[in-house]
Structure 1
Amino acid sequence: MDVLHTIFTCIGTLLVISFTSFLFFILRIYAGKSIRNRKYAPVIGTVFHQLFYFKRLYDYQTEVAKKLPTSRILGPAQSMIYTTDSRNVAHILKTNFPKYSKGKHNQEIIMDLFGKGIFAVDGDKWKQQRKLASLEFSARVLRDFSCAVFRKRAAKLVRKVFGFSISNQVFDMQELLMRCSLDSIFKVGFGVDLNCVDGSGGDDNNFIKAFDDSNELIYWRYVDSFWKLKRYFNIGSEALLKKNIKFIHEFVDELIRTRRKQLEMKQDSVDKEDILSRFLVESKKDPEKMTDQYLRDIILNFMLAGKDSTANTLSWFFYMLCKNPLIQEKVVEEIREITGNNMKDKENLEDFVASITEEVLEKMHYLHAALTETLRLYPAVPVDGRCADADDVLPDGFHIRKGDQVNYMSYAMGRMTYIWGNDAEDFRPERWFKDGSFQPESPFKFIAFHAGPRICLGKDFAYRQMKILATALLYFFRFKLSDDTKVVTYRTMFTLHINEGLPVHAVPRRGLAGS
């Protein structure tokens, strides 16, 4: 009886503590948030509200933004402001840039995966990586090397799709693009050939899954108020995340060690065209700061930008072309006209891919517009934001308190009629043309590549890769969805993946010489 009494007493005590803790947590959410004060953005819910809508979070945010361009949800430590007002975006990303940072809350959430890479840091670390990355992305050697890599991967991708097409086989376009993009970023980033387009790699396949799942699990922390407790006890989603991150870090660490040994052994004879090799050379100037762990963090951040952004955008691009076949044919017509290769029943693949030069790509205004229109509706990063380091007032008049998170919703902004007109939700590349040529919009209106001092350095790099792959694929194939009736949606994570892939048919437009 004494044992049972002790057990029940312990259980009762734990329940009381749990209930009290939960009640305290709820009180913290509502306390001191000036809920009825009209100086602050209207409250539409709490972090629990986001949890309820998590599977369709970006569409829910779009519905709210159509009524309230700026609103907020309440968290235990701060308010989270969400806006689609381009004036507010310009304010936090440029005009008042020094008063906004990544913030402790964001850093706590993402640093387990991204460490001290460029997406997670502020201050001197950000400036150091920004300066180094800026030099690398502007270097002609990297531009030429990356273009050669993209063309080679495009040829491999065409051959892979040709195999599917001649057997009339349905395949997952998103998965194939992810593998191709991973191949490219590993070659450009690490100087390593993964050769995972054919899907035969063991650890390579595991790396893709671990990286994508970790992306989703990290994002889950934004709505999971108990993630720190789960991490402490290593249970549930946090246990899986820890396992994935361990695998990712070990995989990348081994690549860094291998590349460092190659550089040390071959000295000046080894190619230093890839980003890692150039960073390793730079690390010799300051080995205490540029440790292998720091290099890993930098490279993982570049991988998030390089793999996910281009593969995701191309996946949505082909989805939109399948839903709009007339636009698909207009893109193909431009490719044929500019490349001058429109009369052959069979084409030498290597010769065609080699002809996709930078000069050729610069003339493809309609392809550029179609990719940009895809990014308007399906931005690679659907929500991003900054933390206020001091009290502030936004251009729309709403007050911000120190510690509040101010988020701009790229996905929702692309669907706002008060930004893009009554046809905002239509896929219409022509909206980007003025007087017959492509006309860019303000980066605070079209926010797919961020804006201000932290604007994406890899913008041209990404467009180059996407144009080369799109040109090669569309020149040889017509794409159709395997099931036109299926509703295509996204996975809620940092980057906008298509949920459950993109099954398509590829119909050959011409054959491959020698096949």
Structure 2
Amino acid sequence: MKPCCNCATCRSYLSLSWAHQFPNLCDWYTHLLRASPSGTIHVHVLRNTITCNPDNVEYILKTRFDNYPKGKQFSALLGDLLGRGIFNVDGDSWKFQRKMASLEISSVANRSYALEIVTEEIVTRLVPLLASSNGAGRGGVLDLQDILRRFSFDNICRFSFGLDPGCLEADLPTSTFADAFDRASKLSAERAMMASPIIWRIKRFLNIGSERKLKEAIKVVDDLAEEMIRQSRETMGFSARKDLLARFMNSVNDDKYLRDIVVSFLLAGRDTVAAGLTGFFSLLSNHPRVESLIREELDRVMDPGQEVARYDQMRRMHYLNAAVHESMRLYPPVQFDSKFAVEDDVLPDGTFVGKGTRVTYHAYAMGRMERVWGSDCLEFKPERWIRDGVFVQQCPFKYPVFQAGLRVCLGKELALVEMKSVVAALVRRFDIRVVGGANQEPRFVPGLTATVRGGLPIEVRERRR
């Protein structure tokens, strides 16, 4: 590992020459990983070892979990935004937050409560908004990514904090918080792309450029998080409420710690679900056969005129489940995840990892590897998840979209239920088509989750049934 390197990969990274051939950094990494015999590469100037090898992923997330924590380096990158939240800590703090969240999220009562919120948001806001899009002075074109982010934000705020921000109201109100959160996410992620952490640390010390903008954005995020906590404390009987914040407040008196928990759950519940659904609808627009098979299944399982699927019905929607998983194979909401090696180590493919090295498994690239998914890896093919008509899970280390091992995503089932609820409601009632450049690869904005640059413009038409 070298702080200064003149190899072809580092030259291309520093000069941005990769951008002449690839629309996104993740596509360039995919190209490099595909060409690597081991499925692992080094970007020396970043001191980053990147892999798409499932054996390495299992080793990092399970076998040697103790040697690959988030690490102090990662915590520093995202510390200003996420603080001591669950996605940015290790050890006892991580265990405490995970245990608390697990107890609430895994309970049948809270899962039912979450589905009630999602159902209400779909029926009273999402569907009416799309149904009115043709005659509402919008020219029939909507930014589906923006709508889905508003939808997800409303849901996570209601479920996690007991507050309704109303972002999906008919007039699509401007959210200063959402804008600030997006900026903070983007600028925090850009820190990791710099050749040296000294660069952003100096800019932060001098309060200039991107670091000044990041500080201003985080101030807006902090103000809203503090307001959520204040309102929760003033609400009578918060200990009896169902939302996650109220449960944490029973055990935590530190408002700064609560703020970090709030921001982490906002990031998880808003951005990932919206990113997953955006990828799904961008793929479905180009695959009418898949859309037709989903509709056949929905009509077979759901009652005539039923708007939102029940939980027991979703368990019988094997093809829909397969299509949602397949879309995230190609467009994972979190494209990569990094850990930092505590001690020197050797990965299963023979790659040496030095102490303090950043080690990244690249979920986006893994979904595009012939050695992992076969010669049809670039095809949107839900059938690869079906066996004898039944949905079958793939190995989580081959499909680390929800991480795996001890850090596997606690909200996985809630996220899948939310996504499938939206897909079932919209696909059954509307024809949704991407406007212009439907066959082009999306360009992503740098960020902690996959966000399409310029949004996802769509045309919506009511189906004739």
Calculate the TM-score normalised by the size of structure 2: 0.93
Which residue is 1:205 aligned to? 175
Which residue is 2:460 aligned to? 506
Which residue is 1:230 aligned to? 203
Query: Does structure 1 residue 373 correspond to structure 2 residue 338?
Result: no
Q: 1:308 aligns with which of 268, 271, 282?
A: 271
Which residue is 1:12 aligned to? none
Task: List structure 1 runs of 4+ shifted beyond 6 angstroms.
Answer: none
AA of the residue aligned to 1:171: L
Summarize the Cα distance change of 1:313–1:28 in structure 2 as closer, same or farther, 3 Å threshold: closer
Matches within 5 A, 1:133-144: 133-144=101-112
Q: 1:45 aligns with which of 10, 19, 23?
A: 10
Q: Which range moves more in the overlay, 434-443 or 478-487?
A: 478-487
AA of the residue aligned to 1:162: A
Q: 2:249 aligns with which of 280, 286, 309?
A: 280
The Cα shift of 1:271 comes to 5.1
Which residue is 1:497 aligned to? 451
Matches within 5 A, 1:186-197: 186-197=157-168
For 2:421 and 2:127, locate their aligned partners in 1 and report how far apart those are by CA, in whole Å.
11
Summarize the Cα distance change of 1:282–1:507 in structure 2 as closer, same or farther, 3 Å threshold: same
The RMSD of aligned alpha carbons is: 2.1
Query: Does structure 1 residue 169 correspond to structure 2 residue 169?
Result: no
For 1:50 and 1:244, locate their aligned partners in 2 and report how far apart those are by CA, in whole Å.
29
Query: Does structure 1 residue 179 correspond to structure 2 residue 150?
Result: yes
For 1:385 and 1:166, locate their aligned partners in 2 and report how far apart those are by CA, in whole Å.
46
For 2:74 and 2:142, locate their aligned partners in 1 and report how far apart those are by CA, in whole Å.
37
Query: Does structure 1 residue 331 correspond to structure 2 residue 294?
Result: yes
Provide, for residues 168-188 of structure 1, a one-character-per-residue CA deviation record: whole Å limited to 9, x for no partner: 611011100100110001100
For 1:317 and 1:111, locate their aligned partners in 2 and report how far apart those are by CA, in whole Å.
31
Matches within 5 A, 1:31-430: 44-45=9-10, 48-49=13-14, 53=18, 56-68=24-36, 69-75=39-45, 79-155=47-123, 156-166=125-135, 169-198=140-169, 200=171, 205-224=175-194, 225=196, 226-262=199-235, 266-267=236-237, 272-283=241-252, 287=253, 291-341=254-304, 347=305, 352-353=307-308, 356-430=309-383
The Cα shift of 1:281 comes to 2.1
For 1:352 and 1:235, locate their aligned partners in 2 and report how far apart those are by CA, in whole Å.
51
For 1:267 and 1:175, locate their aligned partners in 2 and report how far apart those are by CA, in whole Å.
35
AA of the residue aligned to 1:241: L
The Cα shift of 1:102 comes to 0.9
Q: 1:482 aligns with which of 435, 442, 461?
A: 435
Summarize the Cα distance change of 1:271–1:172 in structure 2 as closer, same or farther, 3 Å threshold: farther
CA contact (8 A) 2:10 2:45 kept: no
The Cα shift of 1:489 comes to 2.2
The Cα shift of 1:200 comes to 4.7
The Cα shift of 1:49 comes to 3.2
Which residue is 1:443 aligned to? 396
AA of the residue aligned to 2:89: V
CA contact (8 A) 1:74 1:80 kept: yes
Summarize the Cα distance change of 1:419–1:50 in structure 2 as closer, same or farther, 3 Å threshold: farther
Query: Secondary structure of the equivalent of 1:243?
Result: helix
For 1:485 and 1:438, locate their aligned partners in 2 and report how far apart those are by CA, in whole Å.
28
Larger Rg: 1
Which residue is 1:23 aligned to? none
CA contact (8 A) 1:59 1:412 kept: yes
Calculate the TM-score normalised by the size of structure 1: 0.84
Summarize the Cα distance change of 1:201–1:173 in structure 2 as closer, same or farther, 3 Å threshold: closer
AA of the residue aligned to 1:497: T
CA contact (8 A) 1:51 1:223 kept: no
AA of the residue aligned to 2:282: Y
The Cα shift of 1:325 comes to 1.5
The Cα shift of 1:282 comes to 2.8
CA contact (8 A) 1:190 1:255 kept: yes
Summarize the Cα distance change of 1:47–1:114 in structure 2 as closer, same or farther, 3 Å threshold: farther
